[in-house]
Structure 1
Amino acid sequence: MTATPLHLTPELVEDPVRGYADLRSRPDLGHAVLPGLNTPARLITRYDDVRAALTEPRLIRDRTAVPGGTDMPDPQAELLAQGFEGFPEEYLPYLSGHLALFDGEEHTRRRNPLTRAFTARRVSALRPFVEKTAQELVAGLAEREQADLLGEFAYPLSTAVICELVGVDAADQERVCGWIRDFAYGDGSRIIEGLAGIVEYTKDLVARRRAEPTDDLVSALLADGGMSDDEIVTVFFLLINTGITPPALFLAHGVLALLDHPEQGELLRAEPELPARAVPELLRFVTLVRIGATLYAAEDFEFAGTPLKKGEAVTVALFGANHDPEVYEVPERLDVTREFGRGDGHLAFGHGPHYCIGAALGRVVTGVVLEELFVRRPAPVLAVDRADVAFGHWPGDGFHLLSLPVRL
């Protein structure tokens, strides 16, 4: 291990071109300590190397599956210890059953029923609900002198979409959305109450859908038969953790990026077909999940010019890869007309077996929001000076908006 790993600050993570320049220019993989952590890992920053790592079978997610075990340093354990501190033990299995932590057959067993239930038809059928909800939220906020586009628009929209997708009954949505807010993005004072409420409600919802199926995700998972009841509850937490906070923050960061580049917002309004084309560029430019899950070398082998030892921790800089100057012309420039080749053209949704299940839904919601905020009405205007927009930091991942005050 190198004696002096690079200690990444949130400010370095926030600068995806220059912040990773030293690591990107090395012939091998350097060691880095992620923001808020103390344990170093090999950090992959080049686009092609990140893609290769995400499909490399010798880089696994489940550290306990390393043959013979390992005592190598583990940043993921440090991160999980921070994230789960204080949670009642009986609820931890619902939180630790994240698909990102499994490999091979177990990952396939858990993921396939969800993939089969997440059909294009089901995603497409949600679009009218997304449009109606977005329009109602904007109409209410437009009547006020200023509004928080993150807390009062992006979070409620993402939460409502997940509740609708899962099948939370209309009469229960306000209560369940309250628990989700307390658990996922509140002030932290009622996080345990939110966790308990979601678990007990979802258990009851599974029992009710088994007795009387409807056209929702829970009913589809029950009909598939590939998951236990507890695993379906875990899926709800997977959707809350990956389908609410990251998308909500992405929407807010995406709007802020367009406000920082007003000429790009004008292009969206001038060219009706452009909002849909702009979605992949915004995903690339923002890349809300900056650092991917920790990977572990299952054996000694060489990767990207670097000898890896069995059990050694490796992680991928998705934000850095999406701003790799070898792949993107002027990567720090937001260009909603940027042409991409086949596929996504970016790694914001990951790559390979762990590619984001909700990618199609994310594209739908983003397209609706761009049309609602930049095409159907005048663009939002920041209600504070740009320097006063507040950011916070997550351990291991860098920076994120705390609020986005705007006038609509």
Structure 2
Amino acid sequence: MTERPVPASELYTDEFAADPYPSYARLRADRPVCPVSSPRFDSYLISRFDDARTALTDPRLSKDLYGPGQHYLRIFGPNSEGLNKNMLNSDPPEHTRLRRIVSQAFAPRRIEALRPRVAEIVDTLLDRIVPRGGCDLMRDFAIPLPMLVISDLLGIPESDHERVLDWTQVIRTSGSANRSPEKDRAAVQEAQLRLHQYLTDLVQDKRAHPADDLIGALVDACDRDGELSEQELVTTTFLLLFAGHQTTADFIGNATVALLTHPDQLELLLASPELLPSAIEELLRFDGPLPVASPRIATEDIEYQGVCIPRGSVVGVAINSANRDPEHFADPDRLDVRRERAPHIGFGYGVHYCLGVSLARMEAQIGLGTLLRRLPGLRLGVPVAELRRLPAASPFRGLLELPVRFAA
């Protein structure tokens, strides 16, 4: 059967951005698979846990946006191919080949070796914050922490960190109210072009001056083994740069707000820091940074929950909705840092399961744990209703700012 689309006016509002979970609950109950109109592109949204896991492994839902049909045009726009044609937007065997090349850099043993460096970055950032008694936690901690870590891993020179961060933040905040639509599009396109040119030049520099870093390894895979094309080399670097910091930054912000608005859970965590690993999983389930999985394309007419999804349709899997499905999580709208590790899909599922999961967990544990320990009396600097968030149409769930106060 077919259904009328859920209009953008119901889902892409400031109220939805502040708290999407009542809307997700209504969709799970009444319209678990439904067409949705959005400011960016129309799609079908899957919101229940079982359907979500099935869809994330359904071979009829393709991730190849750059193949026949050029679906990337309606999703990313005409200037996206230089940065977004990468393993995130591809199917096996291309995805398998690209992931294999990069996966060694994210092996748990190699990531664990980064622990002292991550702890050093966390302490350096907090050393600047602690004496002040207050800060914008996004600007001063949550965003720079993973950006510095992934820059080290990739081999981006320290002298370039600030401008690279500026470009990525322009892309991240696309659609925010602080820019008109015309200026927003122009700013994002300019940032994309500058970042693409920078990464292209950086690859050439690594080729001329080989280095023991991830970009150097990718250059070697391109030049010596022929396993990467030049375009794949640049776009893979962009994917690792952006994915390597964006979701972790938003997770730290979301997790901090969740704990500060659930003081009983914050007290539990402060009293029992050994709960931190399981608390990270619960915080990710409760309010994750990636509300809807990156787009998929139906390669044939398919049916979910009695709803026909026509061939060529964009399909979104609502991860944050699935992670609050009462069929799988007891009392799902309650934050419980003692909750037994639940099989959430905050890191995805199937062949596109997050490649950087070990790094993300380590950064979250060190960053959040040290933050809570070194900022006693941590509290929001504004009422929660006044927090400025990324727009509801953003592919990320996060904060533009996070003003906090604490005992200096």
Same fold (TM > 0.5): yes
The Cα shift of 1:403 comes to 0.5
Of the structure 1 ranges 217-226 and 159-168, higher mean CA displacement relative to structure 2 is found in: 217-226
For 1:299, the aligned partner's letter is: E
What is the DSSP-based 3-state SS (H/G/I as helix, E as strand, rest coil) of the residue aligned with 1:31? Answer: strand
- Structure 1 residues 98 and 378: alpha-carbon distance in aligned structure 2, compared to 1, 3 A threshold: same
Q: 2:101 matched to 1:113?
A: yes
Q: Which amino acid aligns with 1:251?
A: I
Q: 1:160-184 deviations in whole A, cap 9, x for unaligned?
A: 1111010123454455445545555
Where does residue 247 of structure 1 map in the other structure? 248
**% same residue:** 36
Gaps in structure 1 of 5+ consecutive residues = none
Residue 33 of structure 2: SS of its match in structure 1? coil
Selected match of 2:37 from 3, 8, 33: 33
Partner SS state of residue 303, structure 2 = strand
2:351: which partner in 1?
A: 353
| Residue identity opposite 1:46 in structure 2 | R
Matched, 1:21 2:22: no
Indicate the larger mover: 17-26 or 353-362: 17-26
Q: Distance in 2 between the 1:170 and 1:399 partners?
A: 28
Which residue of 43, 46, 55 corresponds with 2:45? 43
Note closer, same or farther for the CA distance 1:363–1:398 as it changes in structure 2 (3 Å cut): closer
Q: Distance in 2 between matches of 1:370 and 1:28?
A: 34
Alignment map for 1:260-299 (pairs within 5 Å): 260-299=261-300
Aligned pairs for 1:334-353 (under 5 A) are: 334-340=335-341, 345-353=343-351
Which of 206, 209, 232 is equivalent to 2:206? 209
| 1:149 CA drift (Å) | 0.2
Deviations 1:234-279, CA, capped at 9 Å, x for gaps:
1222123322232212211110111001121212221131112211
Give the Cα–Cα distance (whole angstroms) in 1 for the partners of residues 260 and 22 of structure 2: 23
Partner Cα separation in structure 1 for residue 200 and residue 394 of structure 2: 32
Aligned ranges for residues 119-198 of structure 1 at < 5 Å?
119-174=107-162, 176-181=164-169, 184=172, 194-198=191-195
**Which stretch of the first structure deviates more once superposed, 279-288 or 176-185?**
176-185
Give 1:217 shift.
Answer: 0.9
Further displaced range: 43-52 or 111-120: 111-120
Paired residue type of 1:274: L
Match of 1:8 in 2: 11
* 3-state secondary structure, aligned to 1:362: helix
Q: Give 1:400's match in structure 2, choosing from 375, 394, 398.
A: 398
For 1:220, the equivalent position in structure 2 comes to: 217
* TM-score, with structure 1 as normaliser: 0.85
**Considering only aligned residues, what root-mean-square deviation do their CA atoms show, in Å?**
2.9
| Equivalent-residue separation in structure 2 for 1:254 and 1:271 (angstroms) | 17
Call closer, same or farther: CA 1:3–1:383 in 2, change over 3 Å: closer
Q: Structure 2: how far apart are the matches of 1:9 and 1:361?
A: 32
Deviation at 1:54, TM superposition (A): 0.5
Cα contact 1:163–1:177 (8 A) shared by 2: no
State the alpha-carbon separation in 1 of the partners of residues 324 and 307 from structure 2: 22
**Deviates most, 125-134 or 14-23:** 14-23
Structure 2 spans left out of the alignment, 5+ residues: 179-183
Which residue of the partner structure matches residue 372 of structure 1?
370
Report if the CA contact (8 A) 1:159-1:180 is conserved. Answer: no
Shift in alpha-carbon separation, 1:98–1:192, aligned structure 2, 3 A: same
Instruction: Name 1:80's counterpart in structure 2.
Output: 76
Aligned in 2, Cα 1:257/1:194: closer, same or farther, shift over 3 Å? Answer: same
Q: Per-residue CA shift, 1:352-388, capped at 9, x if unaligned?
A: 1111111111111100112111134415221223332
User: Aligned pair in 2 of structure 1 residues 29, 377: CA closer, same or farther (>3 Å)?
Assistant: closer
User: 2:84 maps to what in 1?
Assistant: 96
1:46 and 1:381 map into 2 onto residues whose CA distance is: 34
1:331 aligns with 2:319: no
Q: For 2:100 and 2:145, locate their aligned partners in 1 and report how far apart those are by CA, in whole Å.
A: 27
* Counterparts in 2 of 1:387 and 1:14: CA distance versus 1, 3 Å: closer
Distance in 2 (CA, whole Å) between partners of 1:240 and 1:58 is 29
Question: CA-to-partner distance for each residue in 1:183-229, whole Å, 9 max, x for gaps?
Answer: 55598686566545543443343334345543311122234442233
- Structure 1 contact 142–407 (Cα < 8 Å) conserved: no
* Structure 1 partner of 2:181: none
Change (3 A) 1:45 1:195: closer
Mapping for residues 378-397 of structure 1, pairs under 5 Å: 378-395=376-393, 397=395
